[in-house]
Copies of this chain bind each other. A is one copy, B any other.
Amino acid sequence: MLDLTQDVRTLTAAIVDIESVSGDERALAEAVEQALAVLPYLKVDRSGETLVARTELGRAERVLIAGHLDTVPVAGNLPSRVEGDLLFGCGTSDMKAGVAVALKLAATVPAPNRDVTYVFYDCEEIEAERNGLTRVAREHPEWLAADFAVLMEPTDGVIEGGCQGTLRAEITVAGKRAHSARSWLGVNAIHGIEPVLARLNAYEARQPVVDGLAYHEGLNAVGVRGGVAGNVIPDECVVTVNYRFAPDLSIEQAQAHVREVFDGFEVRFTDGAPAARPGLTHPVAAAFTAAVGGTPRAKLGWTDVARFSTLGVPAVNYGPGDPNLAHQQGEYVSLTKIVESERALLDWLTK
C-alpha cells in the first residue's frame, strides 16, 4: 500500500516503482484505491482501473484534478533512481509526479476551500477507445462534473491552456490506368496531386489569440500514396492531411475549412478530435493562475483536456514534469518542481 504521509518526492518514486504500462495498471490502481479508502472525507468510485475520489462539502465551486496512471512501455529505466535534484525512471515526468502531487493533496487537505474531485485513470498512452476517461465520460459523466479541471500533464510547472484540435482527411485524385509504354492512353493520378501540394505550400496558417493565449495552426500532408506497378499509369493518388486547429473552431468548422481549402477535390475525413478552449477566463481559474504564477501559454498538442471541454468543463494542463522528456528512455523529473507544484496547489485549495 502507498504511504501518503511520506514526502511527495519519495511518494513519486514509490509510484514510479509500481510498473503500470498501459493495460497493466491494476497493481497501481489497487494501491491508489487502498490509500484513498482510508480517507473518510472522500467518496471513492471505481470503473475498471480508473478511480474517482470526491470531497462532498457543498462548496460553491468544484474543481477536478486528474492524472493518468499508465506509462509508455518500460525501457530498462526502472526502478527509479535519484541523481542530485533529478528522479529518473519510466513515467517520472509523464506523469507520476503529477499523480503523487494529487494524492498528497487528497491525503492532506480534508477540508479544501472548493470541493475537489480527484481522477486517476488508465490507458491514456494508447488508443482513445480504451482510455479510462473516455469510458467514465460515457458511463458516469456525473463523476466528472466540475467548474474547472487541471490535467497534470507535464508542462514544466507552467499553465498550458486548452489544446488545439486535430483532424485528418484524405484528398483523393482519380486517374485512368494505362500501360506506361502508352502513357497517353491514361490519366496520371500522381501528376494530378500537384495542385493539392500547391495549395498546401501556399497555405498561411492562422495564429489566433483565444481567451488571451496565442495559438498556432498548421495544415500539412502527413502521408501520400499512389502507384500500381512500375509499368502502369496510376489511377489513384491519396494525400493524407492533418489540420491542427485553434480552439476558436469547432471540429465541424475545421472540417468546413479543409473542404474549402481543397475545393474541387474529393475530401474524406478519417478522424478528428475537438480543440479545448483555455478556460482561463472562468472566474475559478483566476485563483488557480494566481496560486501557480507564471505566464500561461497555449497548448498546441492535443491532450485529454479536450475531453473535459466536451463535457463543458474548462480545463488546463499543468504539471511538474518536462514535456520534452515524455516517452524518452532517459525520462526524469525535477524533485524541486514536484515540491513547488504541491505547494502551489495547496495554496490554491486552502487559501
**Chain A contacts to B: CB under 8 angstroms:** 164, 166, 168, 179-184, 188, 190-191, 193-194, 197-198, 200-201, 205, 216, 218, 220-234, 237, 239-240, 242, 244, 271, 300-302
Contacts and interface: CB of A to CB of B under 8 A. Distances in A.
B226 A224 contact: yes
18 contacts: A164-B181, A166-B180, A168-B230, A181-B300, A182-B218, A183-B220, A183-B244, A184-B205, A184-B218, A191-B201, A191-B221, A194-B201, A197-B197, A222-B230, A222-B231, A223-B227, A225-B227, A227-B240
A199 to B, nearest CB: 10
Contacts of A230: 168, 222-223, 240, 242, 271
A224 B301 contact: no
Given A231-B166, A242-B231, A244-B181, A220 B197 contact: no
Copies in the complex: 2
Given A191-B200, A191-B201, A244-B181, A223 B231 contact: no
Nearest to A225: B225
A190 B301 CA distance: 22
A229 B327 CA distance: 16
A177 B185 CA distance: 38
B227 A222 contact: yes
Nearest to A270: B230
Given A166-B180, A180-B244, 5 more contacts: A181-B301, A190-B223, A194-B201, A222-B234, A224-B237
Given A166-B231, A197-B194, A230-B242, A179 B220 contact: no
B220 A191 contact: yes
The 8 closest A-B pairs by CB, nearest first: A223-B227, A183-B218, A190-B221, A194-B197, A181-B301, A181-B300, A224-B226, A180-B242
Residue among A205, A221, A271 having the largest count of chain B Cβ atoms under 10 Å: A221
Contact of A226 (B164, B218, B221): B221
A73 B181 CA distance: 23
A219 B180 CA distance: 8
Nearest to A194: B197
Contact of A224 (B166, B190, B222, B232): B190
Contact of A233 (B179, B220, B234, B271): B220
A223 to B, nearest CB: 3
A181 B163 CA distance: 10
A223 B224 CA distance: 10
Nearest to A190: B221
B181 A218 contact: yes
Contacts of A233: 220, 222
